[in-house]
Amino acid sequence: MKNILVLGAGRSASSLIRYLLDNSTAQGWEVTVADISIEMAEKKTSKHKNSRAIGFDIANESERQKEMNVADIIISLLPPHLHHIAALECIRLKKNLVTASYVSSEIKALDKASKEAGIILLNETGLDPGLDHMSAMHIIDRIKKGGGEITGFRSFCGGLVAPESNDNPWGYKFTWNPRNVVMAGQGTAQLIEDKQYKYIPYNRLFIQTELISIAGYGSFEAYANRDSLSYRKHYDLENIPTIIRGTLRMPGFCKAWNAFVQLGWTDDSYSINASNKLTYCQLLEAYLPKGNQAVRQKLADFLREKPDSEVMNKLEWLGIFEDNKIGLKDATPVQILQDLLERKWKLGEKDIDMIVMQHIFDFRQEGKNKRIISSLVVKGEDQVYTAMAKTVGLPLGIAAKLILNNKISSKGVRIPVMKEIYEPVLQELINYGISFKEEEKTGLF
Amino acid sequence: MKNILVLGAGRSASSLIRYLLDNSTAQGWEVTVADISIEMAEKKTSKHKNSRAIGFDIANESERQKEMNVADIIISLLPPHLHHIAALECIRLKKNLVTASYVSSEIKALDKASKEAGIILLNETGLDPGLDHMSAMHIIDRIKKGGGEITGFRSFCGGLVAPESNDNPWGYKFTWNPRNVVMAGQGTAQLIEDKQYKYIPYNRLFIQTELISIAGYGSFEAYANRDSLSYRKHYDLENIPTIIRGTLRMPGFCKAWNAFVQLGWTDDSYSINASNKLTYCQLLEAYLPKGNQAVRQKLADFLREKPDSEVMNKLEWLGIFEDNKIGLKDATPVQILQDLLERKWKLGEKDIDMIVMQHIFDFRQEGKNKRIISSLVVKGEDQVYTAMAKTVGLPLGIAAKLILNNKISSKGVRIPVMKEIYEPVLQELINYGISFKEEEKTGLF
Q: Is the pLDDT of residue A444 over 90?
A: no
User: What separation in angstroms does the CA of B145 have from each of B134, B367, B417, B441?
Assistant: 16, 16, 15, 18
Q: Answer left, alpha or beta for residue A70, where phi above 0 means left and psi between -120 and 50 means alpha.
A: alpha
B-chain CB neighbours of A285 within 8 Å are 196
CA B133 – CA A396 distance, rounded (Å)? 59
A190–B270 CB contact, under 8 Å: yes
Pairing type for strands A242-249 and A218-224 reads antiparallel
Q: Which residue of B has its CA nearest to A290?
A: B198
Q: What is the mean pLDDT of residues A323-330?
A: 94
A 293-322 residues inside an 8 A Cβ radius of B:
none
ipTM higher than the 0.90 cut = no
Q: Which tens digits make up the pLDDT trace of B117-158?
A: 999 999 999 999 999 999 999 999 999 999 999 999 999 999
CB of A190 within 8 Å of any CB in chain B? Answer: yes
- Do the beta carbons of residue B152 and residue B361 sit within 8 Å? yes
pLDDT score of A26 = 97
Measured between CB atoms, does A267 come within 8 Å of chain B?
yes
Task: Write the pLDDT tens digit of every residue in A253-301.
Answer: 999 999 999 999 999 999 998 999 999 999 999 999 888 899 999 999 9
Assess A289–B contact: CB distance below 8 Å, yes or no: yes
End-to-end CA distance of chain B: 54
Number of H helices and E strands in chain A, helices first, is 17, 16
CA B136 to chain centre: 16
Beta-bridge partner residues of B440:
B372
CB B392 within 8 A of CB B126: yes
Model confidence at B12, pLDDT cuts 50, 70, 90, reads confident
Cβ count within 10 A of residue A431: 10
User: In this complex, is the C-beta atom of A204 within 8 Å of any C-beta atom belonging to chain B?
Assistant: yes
Write the pLDDT tens digit of every residue in B338-363: 999 999 999 999 999 999 999 999 99
Q: Where are the alpha helices (DSSP H) in A28-130?
A: 38-45, 61-69, 83-93, 105-108, 111-116
Closest Cβ opposite residue B188 in set A203, A262, A270: A270
Q: Do B201 and A264 touch (CB under 8 A)?
A: yes
A77 — pLDDT class (breaks 50, 70, 90)? very high
Please tell me the pTM assigned to this model: 0.88
Q: Is B375 left (phi over 0), alpha (psi -120 to 50) or beta?
A: beta
Count of other CB atoms within 10 angstroms of residue B338: 24
Chain A contact for B200 (CB, 8 A cutoff)? yes
Predicted local distance difference test score (pLDDT) of residue B430: 98
Residue-level pLDDT at A176: 84
The rounded distance, in Å, linking the Cα atoms of A340 and A354 is 23
pLDDT, tens digit, for every residue of B246-283?
999 999 999 999 999 999 999 999 999 899 999 999 99
pLDDT interval class at B102 (50, 70, 90): very high
Average pLDDT over residues B300-321: 96
In Å, how far is B277's CA from the nearest CA of chain A?
13
What residues of A are in contact with residue B188 (Cβ under 8 Å)? Answer: 264, 267, 269-270, 333
For the segment A115-134, the average pLDDT, to the nearest whole number, is 97
Q: How far is CA A1 from the centre of its chain?
A: 33
CA-wise closest residue to B161 among B396, B388, B441, B358: B388
**Rounded average pLDDT over B314-336:** 96
Separation in Å, CA B66 to CA B2, B47, B51, B69, B229: 16, 22, 17, 5, 42
> Model confidence over A131-183: pLDDT tens digits?
999 999 999 999 999 999 999 999 999 999 999 999 999 999 998 889 999 99
pLDDT confidence of residue B278: 95
Note the pLDDT tens digit of each residue in B218-227.
Answer: 999 999 999 9
Q: Supply the pLDDT for residue B309.
A: 97
B337: closest CA among B347, B326, B322? B326
Is the model's pLDDT at B6 over the cut of 90?
yes
CB-nearest partner of A289 from B203, B208, B287: B208
**Element at B368 (helix H, strand E):** strand B368-379
Q: Choose the closest CB to B188 out of A200, A229, A267.
A: A267
pLDDT for residue B290: 84
Reference A203, options A187, A183, A184, A214; nearest CA is A187
Name the percent of chain B lying above pLDDT 90: 96
Give the pLDDT score at A289: 87
Average pLDDT over residues B374-384: 96
Residues of A in contact with B207 (CB under 8 A): none
Q: Tell whether the model's pLDDT for residue A189 goes beyond 80.
A: yes
CA distance B284 to chain A (A): 10
Give chain A positions within 8 Å (CB) of B287: 198-199, 201
At B183-199, the pLDDT tens digits run 999 999 999 999 999 99
Put simply, whether B289 touches A (Cβ < 8 Å) is: yes
Q: Which of A229, A263, A286 sits opposite B198 (nearest CB)?
A: A286
